[in-house]
Structure 1
Amino acid sequence: MPREFDRHNERVEALSAISRLPSSRRHQLIEEYRQRSENAFAHATLRNYHMVIRLFGKWCADHGYSPEPPVSPEILASWVDDMGGKLASNTIETRLWGIAELHRSRFLPSPTRHRLVDLALKGVKRKYGTTQRQAPALGKKDVIHAIDRLGSSRLELRDKAMLWIMTDSWCRSSEVSAFKVKNLLRQDDGSSLLYVSRSKTDQYGEGAYAYLSAKGTLAVLAWIEEAKLKADDPILTKSQKGAQHLPLDPATISRILRRCTGRKDVSAHSTRIGGVHDAFRIGCDLSSIMVAGRWTSPEMPARYGRKISAQQSAAAKVSEAFNQVAMESDSK
C-alpha cells in the first residue's frame, strides 16, 4: 500500500539524508544552492537577505550568542522579543524568513517553525499590534501643482517627465526606474501605455501595462528629445549633459519627489497611495483600482483607501443628511 505523502516528514527525511553525506559532497550542495539562489531571487531579495543575516549576527554578538546555524529556537524567540515594539510585525516576519533561508541554504531544519518562535511572534503582535506604517498620500492635484512650478531647464524637463509618470501610472519606484524608451507605447488619443516588464508581484516577467496621460506623454517626449535618448535607454536618467544613460535609482526618485513637492514626509510610494485616494474620492470601484495599480488581490488598495472609505461610509452619509435637515430647519 503506497504511503500517504506528508510534506513535513518528507522534508525531514530529505534533510536527514543530506546530513549523512560526506562533508565534501555536502559543501558542494551548499555552494550549488548559493549559486542557484543568485539566479532565482531578485536583487532586492538577496540584498534584504544579506542585511538580515548581518543584523542577526550583530545582535548575537551583543548578546553572547553564536549566529551560526543551527540556531536554537530559544535564541530566535529572544530575538523576536527584542524586536517587538521597535519594528513592525511584518518586518519581523521578513527577518525570520531570512533566518529560515539561512538554514535552508545549509540544508538544516528551520528553527522559525518551532512553536516557541511562533508564540513569541504572536505575543509581539498581541502586545504591539500589526498596523503597518503607510507612506503619506500624494494626490494628483498636489503633483500637478508641483509640475506647474517647474520651468524648462534640462533638469526640470526630466523632473516633469518623472512626476507625470509617477502620478499617472501609479507605478512603484523600481518599475519607474526600469522603464525604457521602447516601453512607451503611443495611443491614438494622445495618451500612452507604459509596458511594465517586471515588478514586485511579477518576478517572472509576465508583463503588464500602466497608463500615461496625453499631458504626461508630451512631457516624457520632451525629455526624451532633450536628452537624445534611444530606444534601449532608460527614460529617467541623470539630467547632466554628457552623463551616461543609466537609470535613476529608486531612492533618487523619492528624493526628487520630495524636492519638487517641498514635502519631506513623502516617498515614491506616496503617488501610488495618492492615486488610490483620488480614485475612491471620485467613486471608482475596487476592481478598476486593482487594474490601474496592477494588484492581484484587493487587500493593499483596500488598506490604502481605508481613510477615504470611512469618510464615504454610510455613517458619514447619514450624518451629512441629518446635518442638512438640521440646517434647513434652522433656516425656517
Structure 2
Amino acid sequence: ARDMAIVSLLACTGLRRSEAAALDWSQVDAQPDGSGRLTVTRSKTDQEGEGAVVAITSVAMRDLERWAELQGRDRQGSVFGLSGRQVSRRVAAVAKAAGLGEGFSGHSGRVGMAVTMLRNQAPSATIMRQGRWNSERMIGRYGRNETAGEALRYL
C-alpha cells in the first residue's frame, strides 16, 4: 500500500524524491470531490519555503487514504517514513515488479507527470504550475519524445 501511494502520488504531483521523503500529513488536504491538494513547503527551487500547492488525483488520494488506514495511527508526522534514496528504490522495485524493466527512479514520476499532461494536451502554464517550473525548458526536455510524435499528425 505504501509503495502504491508513493508511485501514484509522484506520478500526479511531480514531487521530487526528497519532497516525497519530507512529506508530512499536514501538507495533504482532501477535497470534497475526492481529489486533494498538496502544499510543497520546501523544494530544490524554493529554498526560502514560500511553498506551492499542487493537485492530487482522486486515485492518488485513495492510495494515500489506504496507506493511512494501514498505518493505524492519526494522520500526523511523516507520510512515508522513508529517505529520498529509499523512495527512489521503492519506485524502481514497483516498476520492476510491474514488468516495466530497469531505469525507473524517484524522478520517474516527475517525468511521467509532464508526459501525461502533454499527452492530455494540458496548457504549458498548467504543466509548469503542477511541476513547479519557472520556464517551459523542462517540459520540453521531459516531453521531447511526445512533441516529436506530434509531427506524425501532419505527415
Query: What is the deviation of 1:176?
Result: 0.9
Query: What is the deviation of 1:292?
Result: 1.3
Name the residue aligned to 2:140. 302
Which of these residues, 256, 259, 267, is aligned with residue 90 of structure 2? Answer: 256
Distance in 2 (alpha carbons) for counterparts of 1:267 and 1:201 = 20
Query: What secondary structure does 2:70 align onto?
Result: helix
Higher normalized helix content (fraction of residues): 1
Query: What secondary structure does 1:312 align onto?
Result: helix
- When Rg is computed on C-alpha atoms for both structures, the one with the higher figure is 1
Name the residue aligned to 2:53. 209
In 1, are the aligned partners of 2:30 and 2:36 still within 8 Å (CA)? Answer: yes
- Residues 209-266 of structure 1: CA deviation (Å, up to 9, x unaligned): 12211221122122112213444411002xxxxxxxxxx1111111111111113211
| Number of positions where the alignment pairs a residue of Structure 1 with one of Structure 2 | 151
Matching of residues 182-197 of structure 1 within 5 Å: 182-197=26-41
Counterpart of 1:255, as a letter, is R
Residue 20 of structure 2 corresponds to residue 176 of structure 1: yes
In 2, are the aligned partners of 1:171 and 1:210 still within 8 Å (CA)? Answer: no
Distance in 2 (alpha carbons) for counterparts of 1:192 and 1:283 = 22
Residue 72 of structure 2 corresponds to residue 228 of structure 1: yes
Query: What is the deviation of 1:269?
Result: 0.8
Higher normalized strand content (fraction of residues): 2
Distance in 2 (alpha carbons) for counterparts of 1:277 and 1:204 = 28
Structure 2: where are the runs of 5+ without partners? Answer: none
Distance in 2 (alpha carbons) for counterparts of 1:294 and 1:201 = 8
Query: What secondary structure does 2:38 align onto?
Result: strand
Distance in 2 (alpha carbons) for counterparts of 1:221 and 1:317 = 41
Query: What secondary structure does 2:102 align onto?
Result: coil
Query: What is the deviation of 1:293?
Result: 0.7
Counterpart of 2:61, as a letter, is T
Distance in 2 (alpha carbons) for counterparts of 1:297 and 1:289 = 10
Query: What secondary structure does 1:297 align onto?
Result: coil
Query: What secondary structure does 1:193 align onto?
Result: strand
Query: What secondary structure does 2:54 align onto?
Result: strand
In 2, are the aligned partners of 1:229 and 1:235 still within 8 Å (CA)? Answer: no
- Residues 124-174 of structure 1: CA deviation (Å, up to 9, x unaligned): xxxxxxxxxxxxxxxxxxxxxxxxxxxxxxxxx111211121111111111
Q: So what's the TM-score if we normalise by structure 1?
A: 0.44
Name the residue aligned to 2:154. 318
Q: So what's the TM-score if we normalise by structure 2?
A: 0.90
Query: What secondary structure does 1:280 align onto?
Result: helix
Residue 118 of structure 2 corresponds to residue 274 of structure 1: no
Query: What secondary structure does 1:194 align onto?
Result: strand
- Residues 270-313 of structure 1: CA deviation (Å, up to 9, x unaligned): 11111211222221221111011111121111221122111103
Distance in 2 (alpha carbons) for counterparts of 1:231 and 1:182 = 8
Distance in 2 (alpha carbons) for counterparts of 1:164 and 1:282 = 17
Counterpart of 2:39, as a letter, is Y
Query: What is the deviation of 1:180?
Result: 0.6
Q: Which runs of 4+ in 1 moved over 6 A?
A: none
Matching of residues 125-204 of structure 1 within 5 Å: 157-204=1-48
Query: What is the deviation of 1:195?
Result: 1.1
Name the residue aligned to 1:60. none
